[in-house]
Amino acid sequence: MNNQLDENYYRKLLELQQLDFALIELTLYLDTHPNDLQALQQFNQLAQQRQQCAMQFEMQYGPLMQFGHSFSKYPWQWIECPWPWQV
């Protein structure tokens, strides 16, 4: 992992945070409006975007999550800093 964080690191991390926020809001909405097809389609579209964004981020900067939610390159990347919540 490159220990110097470039502007793209922060841009991608912000994009992930924005997608996570939208997905949480849509989850709460869908909990009370489960038959809203448009909201469900938007949720699925954002979930796919989030998955792609996270995969791109992890390939370039390392894992976002632990316990099998993210893969690691060799050598083990999880010990490398900073972790996403530290920036």
Calpha distance 71→44 (Å, rounded):
23
Calpha distance 32→21 (Å, rounded):
18
Calpha distance 14→18 (Å, rounded):
6
Q: Is 79 helix (H, G, I), strand (E, B) or coil?
A: coil
Q: pTM, whole model, 2 decimals?
A: 0.73
Q: Is 11 helix (H, G, I), strand (E, B) or coil?
A: helix
pLDDT digits (tens, 9 = 90+) for 11-54: 999 999 999 999 999 999 998 998 999 999 999 999 999 999 99
Calpha distance 60→51 (Å, rounded):
14
Calpha distance 66→70 (Å, rounded):
6
pLDDT digits (tens, 9 = 90+) for 52-87: 999 999 888 887 876 655 555 565 565 666 766 676
